[in-house]
Amino acid sequence: MRKWISFPKQVGVSSKQAHADFPEQAIYEREVGRSGFFGPATHFHHRHAPTGWSHWEGELRPHNYDFNKLDGVAVESPWQVPVLLHNAHCKFRIWHCREDMKFLARNADGDELLFVHEGRGELFCDYGHITLEKGDYFSIPRSTSWRIQPLEPMQLVMIEATNGSYQLPEKGLVGNHAIFDPAVLDVPDINEQFKAQYSEDEWQVQVKRHDKIATITYPYNPLDAIGWHGDLAPVRINWRDIRPLMSHRYHLPPSAHTTFVADRFVVCTFVPRPIESDPGALKVPFYHNNDDYDEVLFYHEGDFFSRDNIDKGMVTFHPAGFTHGPHPKAFQAGREHKKKFTDEVAVMLDTRDALQIGDACATVENPDYVYSWKAHD
């Protein structure tokens, strides 16, 4: 058994409540915490912005990738999509799917999570048929066979839980029906569209295991189930079904927006919500050292209120090890409480283990992003 060394202290001038009622002489708060936002934490009050660096050397820096520039890279198989960010427990890819899959895919390395950034399509799998729309998450259990028929060109974020599985977060005091009711989760159906694809023609399954592909050939379509029962299945939820937790007096940490939990990483969803209205409450994300997790944000749509010059389809990657937080203009706008409502939609991947950067990222990186926190007149 063990526990954190914990003895809350107060030194110098500080607020009594995190993220609210800052001392007048130090408007910049910085949170240093452990275990994401669940462990012990200290809140510093600074005279200058913690992100006010003037020069940066070395590889540990914030990254910004415009993955829209990968748009020309369309492949027929999800297993041909280059890995953009990865570690031993997860892989992050973006797949441009434009053509019907003429085979089935099966991931024997772990669960797969799809997020539909653009387009829509029909998905067929062992469990039946489902139509995927823009803004859908679709969680696919390990070793499920599946294929997609795009109804229009699709752009899919793919997050693999390598050797792991996706589960729902514990919702604690707010109860099982908060954030989203499990009743909103959809599953594939053995419907007429599924039955119409029964076939005695030859089909192949591309199975990925240890990142190697084996091809299994059947003299029929193996998606031939007539029914199923149980509590293991792919599930679909759209970001519009998420009802975010919020407080008018306190800026909640990103962990309050957790959608899926896997082994050593989480996937969170930021959706539109009212901005805090209490005069003393922080109105933008707080500066923080999340030193146990790497942070990846995929911007789906809207105006991400804590960032400048970020468009949909872009990704920011903040490795653990330095303070990050709102850009100067966003911080000032928050102090002036110019916006009353956020309109952003973003998918966040927080990983307990350091992420490696794939080769494809180098061609679409903005090298000046590290200096985007500099104050401009």
Q: Is 45 annotated as a binding residue?
A: no
CA distances 268 to 71, 242, 264, 271, Å, are 25, 11, 14, 10
Question: Which tokens sit at 187?
Answer: 């599953």
Residue 43 to residue 17: CA distance in whole angstroms: 9
> Parallel, antiparallel, or unpaired: how do β-strands 294-301 and 287-290 relate?
unpaired
DSSP string of 132-182, one letter each residue: E-TTEEEEE-TT-EEEEEEEEEEEEEEEEEET---BPPP-GGG-TTSBS-G
Query: Coil, strand or helix: which one is 308?
Result: coil
Q: Is 288 annotated as a binding residue?
A: yes
Residue 232 to residue 180: CA distance in whole angstroms: 19
What is the Cβ-side half-sphere exposure of residue 298, based on CA atoms within 13 angstroms? 27
Q: If you count them, how many residues does the chain have?
A: 377
pLDDT by residue (tens digit) across 150-162? 999 999 999 999 9
pLDDT at residue number 53 = 87
Q: Is 294 annotated as a binding residue?
A: yes
Question: Would you call 129 exposed, middle or buried from its count of C-beta atoms within 10 A (0-12, 13-18, 19+)?
Answer: buried
State the architecture of 28-65+244-371 in CATH terms. Answer: Sandwich (2.60)
Confirm whether 28-65+244-371 and 79-239 share one CATH topology.
Answer: yes
Q: What is the pLDDT along the chain (377 residues), one digit of tens a residue?
A: 888 888 888 888 888 888 888 887 777 888 887 877 777 888 888 888 888 888 988 888 999 999 988 866 678 899 999 999 999 999 999 999 999 999 999 999 999 999 999 999 999 999 999 999 999 999 999 999 999 999 999 999 999 999 999 999 999 899 999 999 999 999 999 999 999 999 999 999 999 999 999 999 999 999 999 999 999 999 999 999 999 999 999 889 888 999 999 999 999 999 999 998 998 888 888 888 878 899 999 999 998 766 667 899 999 999 998 888 888 787 787 778 878 898 899 999 999 999 999 999 999 999 999 998 887 54
CA distances 376 to 49, 293, 371, 373, Å, are 13, 30, 11, 9
71 conformational bin, left if phi > 0, alpha if psi -120 to 50, beta if neither: alpha
Element of type H or E holding 217:
strand 212-218
- Say if CB 66 and CB 364 are below 8 A apart: yes
R_g (Cα) of the chain, nearest Å = 22
Number of H helices, E strands in the chain: 2, 20
- Say if CB 37 and CB 266 are below 8 A apart: no
- Say if CB 109 and CB 209 are below 8 A apart: yes
- Positions annotated as catalytic residues are 251
Sequence spans of domains, the chain: 28-65+244-371, 79-239
DSSP string of 47-97, one letter each residue: SS-TT--S---SS-S-EEEEGGGGTT-B-SSGGGSPP-EE-SSEEEEEEEE
pLDDT at residue number 305 = 64
Identity of the amino acid at 180: F
What is the Cβ-side half-sphere exposure of residue 376, based on CA atoms within 13 angstroms? 7
Residues 230, 231, 234, 237, Cα dihedral to 10°: 130
**Which CATH code is given to the segment(s) 79-239?**
2.60.120.10
pLDDT at residue number 168 = 96
